Structure 1
Amino acid sequence: MNSIDPPTLDAGDTYTTCISRVRDAALKARLAGITDDVRTASADYVDKALENRLHEVPRIANVGGVTTAELEKVYTQRMTGKTAPGRAAYDEIFNSSAKCLLCTQRKVDTLDHHLPKAHYPVLAVTPANLVPACSACNKAKLASAPASADESALHPYFDRIQDDRWLHGLVIEGVPAVVVFRVEAPAFWDAELTNRVQLHFDGLDLGGLYSAEAAEELSSIRFQLINIHRTEGMQAVREELLARGESAAAAQLNGWRAVTYESFAMSDWFCDGGFALV
């Protein structure tokens, strides 16, 4: 997961903009009538997110006479559409990251509701609840609601784990070589954070995604490694892999590429020709 600062957009203003072109006078009055509820719920959301207490956010289906379906349409019809009044806010959040903040690998092509709008409709257009993501991660998360702190999904705006080393890998000898990824929490992490990171890793199948990327990376450098091994030997291969890993880790400590190169370098079998087996 990559972490970035939360959007600076005001939740109440964003909601007001989204409902500004509602033509049905009665519906618009009902939607406008819960603006303070949206502001209050959004502020409460941020307060709880800062302390990993989002599982305490109440699930309310009917907010001041406005139904879940009506609030979901504020997002789907009045924020996401190309000409929707709330589109500028949508685009600002969407463009805040080029890569999915959840898997860190695929391009952003949607906004994920961290707390799903089906269960928390009052937060349907709350900027802090909208996260740039890829469709695969968005689909994998589903519309689940956390029941405890341990079950709360990592939040890219409020959880900071990118500076602690937690992603590790191991080369499995075979034809071809495979890197298997795992979560290995630092000793100073508590059980709650460790559980949440493991849930994130397993729930989004990051191990499978990263292993596939590692296999493709190997295929792209195999010819170069064969030449280095033939002319300079096993240690030169290891040094090349370590240098690549160091560079990748400087950009993203827990990135699959940095861990892949470290795993390659730590395997004597791999460095002494295992990379060439296909």
Structure 2
Amino acid sequence: MLAAYSDYDRHYQKPSKDSALKVTKEERLALKGNYDLLDSGRPFHPLRAQLLAAAPNKKCPMCGHRDVATLDHYLPKAVYPEFSALSRNLVPVCPYCNHEKADKLGDELGRRFIHAYYDLLPDIELLVADVVIDSSVFVKYRIDRPNGLVDPVVDNLEYHFTALKLNECFESEAFDELTGRAGAFHYQYEYNGGEQGLATMLRVEAVSERSKAGVNSWKVALYNALSRSRDFCNSGFRLLSRGDWDF
């Protein structure tokens, strides 16, 4: 077991469908059962509490905005029972990401999920939003890889984004954000500088959110895209509400 623990880094970087530890069926079940020791009233429960409390701002590191409520086995205990109670393998996440990730290890290209404890994204804009003005305001999210950038972490981010269906998640959040802020957009346009005033407000929102959540927050991407959209800042914002605003 100690040898397996010391070899964890190699396994998380290139997950395999087979554990390197050769054990019997009974031993496998016993190793998986070690995770139960983190339950309330069991010997390792303080470890569970410490791991959940360690998430920055109590937000899930896999999606970046839902509250953490459970622990995910980065290397699934169904495949790697030896790591079922290893703290480095237990990541505080939200129930949605835990469910979507399940026992997936990666894809045929060798890409895997981002590991919150080890993988550091480059400090550049990778998550972007596209604003489409039609009968309403639509926002779509994607990973935009700079031309010529060779980085295995970004490869993994592309897989992570797709496997967790984060585009759907972020688009839903963006809709709620836009409808909730519609009145503020109207007020800014009417009383604080029209199109340019609204664009400035949106840029300030993006900078403010970036200071709190980093460059690749869904909300930063949203406000960056809105501030750059002349269609939105000129008149598109009016499509967020059919009512009259009386300030």
Is this a same-fold pair by TM over 0.5? yes
Is the Cα–Cα contact under 8 Å of residues 16 and 105 in structure 2 kept in the other structure? no
Q: 1:89 Cα deviation (Å)?
A: 1.1
Give SS of 2:7's match. helix
Is the Cα–Cα contact under 8 Å of residues 150 and 195 in structure 1 kept in the other structure? no
Match status 1:144 vs 2:104: yes
Match status 1:273 vs 2:210: no
Distance 1:146 1:257 in 2: 27
Q: Which has the higher relative contact order, 1 or 2, with Cα contacts under 8 A spaced 6 or more apart?
A: 1
2:51 maps to: 93
1:34 maps to: none
Distance 1:78 1:149 in 2: 36
1:159 equivalent among 81, 98, 119? 119
Distance 1:215 1:250 in 2: 22
- CA change 1:208–1:57 in 2 (3 A) is closer
1:214 maps to: 174
1:46 maps to: 9
1:19 maps to: none
Q: 1:46 Cα deviation (Å)?
A: 2.7
Instruction: Write out per-residue CA displacement over residues 220-273 of structure 1, whole angstroms, 9 at most, x where no aligned residue.
Output: 221111122123211101011011111112222100111100111111110012
Distance 2:146 2:50 in 1: 35
1:107 equivalent among 46, 67, 80? 67
Is the Cα–Cα contact under 8 Å of residues 55 and 145 in structure 1 kept in the other structure? yes
Q: Count matched residues.
A: 236
Question: What is the root-mean-square deviation of aligned Cα atoms in Å?
Answer: 2.1
1:249 maps to: 210
What does residue range 1-278 of structure 1 map to in structure 2 within 5 Å?
A: 37=1, 39-49=2-12, 52=13, 54-55=14-15, 58-59=18-19, 63=23, 66-75=26-35, 77-79=36-38, 81-97=39-55, 98-146=58-106, 150-161=110-121, 163-187=123-147, 189-190=149-150, 192-231=152-191, 232-251=193-212, 252-278=214-240
Q: 1:87 Cα deviation (Å)?
A: 0.6
Amino acid at match of 2:163: G
Distance 1:70 1:163 in 2: 42
- Quote the sequence identity (%): 25
Give the TM-score taking structure 2 as reference length: 0.88
Give SS of 1:105's match. coil
Unmatched runs of 5 consecutive residues or more in structure 1: 1-36
Distance 1:271 1:135 in 2: 36
Q: 1:48 Cα deviation (Å)?
A: 4.9
Is the Cα–Cα contact under 8 Å of residues 201 and 207 in structure 1 kept in the other structure? yes
Is the Cα–Cα contact under 8 Å of residues 121 and 154 in structure 2 kept in the other structure? no
Distance 1:124 1:153 in 2: 18
Q: 1:100 Cα deviation (Å)?
A: 0.7
- CA change 1:59–1:129 in 2 (3 A) is same
Amino acid at match of 1:135: P
Is the Cα–Cα contact under 8 Å of residues 150 and 192 in structure 1 kept in the other structure? no
Instruction: Write out per-residue CA displacement over residues 135-186 of structure 1, whole angstroms, 9 at most, x where no aligned residue.
Output: 1101111212347673222111111006232111110112331111110123
Is the Cα–Cα contact under 8 Å of residues 62 and 68 in structure 1 kept in the other structure? no
1:13 maps to: none
Distance 2:206 2:25 in 1: 56
